[in-house]
Amino acid sequence: MAKRIDVKDLDIYYGSFRAVRDVSMTIHPRAVTALIGPSGCGKSTYLRALNRMHELIPSARVEGEVVMDDQDLYAPGMDPVDVRKHIGMVFQRPNPFPTMSIYDNVAAGLRLNHKRMRKSEMDDVVEESLRGANLWEEVKDRLRKPGSGLSGGQQQRLCIARAIAVRPDVLLMDEPCSALDPISTHAVEDLMAQLKENYTIVIVTHNMQQAARVSNYTGFFNIAGTGQPGELVELDETPTIFSTPTHSATEEYISGRFG
Amino acid sequence: MLILVVLAGVAAFLLVEAWPSFVAPAEEIPGEGGLVLYIWPLVFGTLLSAVLALVIAAPLAVLIALFITHYAPRKLAQLLGYVVDLLAAVPSIIYGLWGFTVLAPATRGPAEWLSENLGFIPLFAGPPSTTGRTMLTAGLVLAVMILPIITAVIREAFLQTPKLHEEASLALGATRLEMIRLAVLPFGSSSIISGSMLGLGRALGETMAVAIVLSASGGVTFNLISSGNPATIAANIALEFPESSGVAIDTLIASGLVLFAITLVVNMIARAVINRRTDFSGAS
């Protein structure tokens, strides 16, 4: 659990268009790394490249290295399905499986990975994951009801429970709170603070206060202009980025002068 | 509203026209066994042929729709979708002729094999028909005919599977097949049912192809490959109508009324099944 990721000289292309240029960074285990930057700067694309979800777009490809604890995620013969089993993802909009109950949603990943698991064992993992996502108390009496009946914030925590049920090494979150109200956002942020005890977390956010609140490290992405590739301007400990950033662009962005 | 009026009008017409056959003495009904005895084998044949067609076509339609939406490269998918749609444009009489001249002889060999090796299943008890114009052949022809409509309905639904749910399953480490099981099939299940019911409706009412292909002798049997096949309502009307008069015509119309009722019930069941699932539907 909680592995470290080293990214080296990563370029991401859509067809012949280079969307992200030359990113190198170390993502520390048991910490929250936040990625901020203006819209269209490639931070979501970059996040998806970490568990190879970008490959769903047929023309997308990467050059460079992503190494998780000495394991090259883009090595030939590396199955993207295996990568995603170890690097879970939570999306912008809550996406529980609508035809499944709350219980089945959490168990979905388990059923994929451990074909034969005893009922009692499954119950335990589902409870543990829901507790881990701070959702157990709210749903324990209606585990068999559809997950789509929950509120948006509850659905998002259900998705987090589903993601951690398979015990990933890393959890990627793509603007997990942008579709949630402030109270639900607070609940999810609290949850992140707990989860980083056991997981490596990378979160993309548009909300700089959020980045300041939840993250240990912050990376700032920027683009030089339309049609230009996005690039990582700098990555440092969050207090440093928000008080004394190295680059002027970072300072301008976090002080709200653009973006 | 207008549709209800039309439906009621059709039902009333059938009832009025069929009425004499309800009150006529049993000897005057063709076959001299009474109305129920005349219509029952037809109902049986209609249901058997249509269900057989559905059992063959529905799984195939799901597979084709899946291939088109999630496996084939875009060019091939377009071509394949076009070809399947084209199947729907072929007139049913052509299917009948094809079934009669090509498919029927071609089923004789397999039918013999089935009766020899799987003869213990009542469906394949045999003895195999020498012409091949059996219930099995009729079912196959009907299956080809209803394949396009079922495929089209299912394909549309599969295409609309929310990307969110596909991504959710893939992010859990699902393979493409597992993603289809977790996200695509549950989302499309109600359209699989409604598409199947549309196909079933068409198979129930199909006239010319069955009239040409099926060599009917009136027995009520589940045996798909023997020569003793029940006719279907629609085909029977088409074959008997030109040579009927008086009460015989009323009897045929009565059988038409039964067919109307069956299709109505099939549609209502489909509706009920779909409604029952809205609890767990994609609307969130």
- Helix/strand/coil for A106: helix
Predicted confidence at residue B142, as pLDDT, reads 92
Smallest CA-to-CA distance from B143 within B209, B230, B234, B77 is with B209
Binned at pLDDT 50, 70 and 90, residue B276 comes out as low
pLDDT tens across B21-51, in order?
887 777 777 776 777 888 888 888 899 999 9
Pick the CATH number of A5-100+168-254 from 2.170.120.30, 2.40.50.140, 3.20.20.70, 3.40.50.300: 3.40.50.300
Residues of A in contact with B174 (CB under 8 A): 81, 112
Predicted confidence at residue B277, as pLDDT, reads 59
Domain ranges of chain B: 33-278
Are residues A202 and A72 in contact, defined by beta-carbon separation less than 8 angstroms? no
Of the candidates A93, A112, A148, the beta carbon closest to that of B173 is on: A112
* DSSP state at residue B100: I
Q: Do B186 and A98 touch (CB under 8 A)?
A: yes
CATH topology of domain B33-278: MetI-like fold (1.10.3720)
User: In this model, does residue B282 exceed pLDDT 50?
Assistant: no
* Selected residue of B165, B170, B172 to mutate for chain A interface (largest A Cβ count, 10 A): B172
Smallest CA-to-CA distance from A87 within A164, A34, A175 is with A164
pLDDT tens across B208-252, in order?
888 888 887 777 777 777 777 888 888 888 888 888 877 888 888
Q: Report the predicted TM-score, pTM, of the whole model to 2 decimal places.
A: 0.80
Strand partners for A219: A35, A235
User: In this model, does residue B275 exceed pLDDT 80?
Assistant: no
Amino acid occupying residue A36: I
CA–CA distance from B143 to each of B59, B90, B166, B198, B260 (Å)? Answer: 11, 14, 31, 12, 21
| Residue A1 CB coordination number (10 Å) | 12
Handedness of CA A88, A92, A93, A94 (dihedral sign): positive
The strand pair at A60-68 and A32-36 is best described as unpaired
Strand partners for A200: A170
Total residue count of chain B as it appears in this document: 284
Distance CA A162, CA A96 (A): 9
- Helix/strand/coil for A223: strand
Q: What is the mean pLDDT of chain B?
A: 84
Q: Which structure tokens are listed for A172? A: 């990627």
Q: Mind listing the pLDDT tens digit of every residue in chain A (259 residues)?
A: 678 899 999 999 988 888 998 999 999 999 999 999 888 888 899 999 999 998 888 888 899 989 988 888 888 888 888 899 899 999 988 999 988 899 999 998 888 877 677 888 889 989 989 988 888 888 989 999 988 889 888 999 999 999 988 888 999 999 998 888 888 888 889 889 988 888 999 999 988 889 999 999 999 999 888 778 888 999 999 999 998 889 988 988 888 776 5
Strand partners for A235: A219
Distance CA A46, CA A64 (A): 12
Burial class of B91 by CB neighbour count within 10 A (0 to 12, 13 to 18, 19+): exposed
Are residues A233 and A247 in contact, defined by beta-carbon separation less than 8 angstroms? yes
Domain ranges of chain A: 5-100+168-254
Vertex A100, ends A98 and A104: CA angle to 5°? Answer: 140
Nearest-CA distance from A173 to chain B in Å? 11
Residue in chain B nearest A171 by alpha carbon: B171
| Residue B26 CB coordination number (10 Å) | 13
Distance CA B171, CA B128 (A): 53
User: In this model, does residue B91 exceed pLDDT 70?
Assistant: yes
Predicted confidence at residue B214, as pLDDT, reads 85
CA–CA distance from B52 to each of B129, B142, B210, B268 (Å)? Answer: 18, 9, 13, 20
Asked if B72 is an interface residue toward chain A (Cβ–Cβ < 8 A), one would say no
Smallest CA-to-CA distance from A189 within A168, A213, A167, A207 is with A213
Q: Do A84 and B165 touch (CB under 8 A)?
A: no
Strand partners for A5: A27, A68
* Selected residue of A55, A91, A99 to mutate for chain B interface (largest B Cβ count, 10 A): A99
Distance CA B189, CA B276 (A): 12
Predicted confidence at residue B284, as pLDDT, reads 36
Smallest CA-to-CA distance from A147 within A93, A89, A97 is with A97
Q: Do B171 and A84 touch (CB under 8 A)?
A: yes
B176 Cβ neighbours under 8 A, 6+ residues apart = B70, B71
- Helix/strand/coil for A203: strand
Does the interface ipTM go beyond 0.95? no
Average pLDDT over residues B13-28: 81
Distance CA B206, CA B195 (A): 16
| Residue B2 CB coordination number (10 Å) | 6
pLDDT tens across B43-74, in order?
888 999 999 999 999 999 999 999 998 888 88
CA–CA distance from B100 to each of B89, B112, B209, B213 (Å)? Answer: 19, 18, 9, 5
pLDDT tens across B158-216, in order?
888 888 888 999 988 888 888 998 888 888 888 898 889 889 988 988 888 888 888 87
User: In this model, does residue B280 exceed pLDDT 70?
Assistant: no
Predicted confidence at residue B175, as pLDDT, reads 87
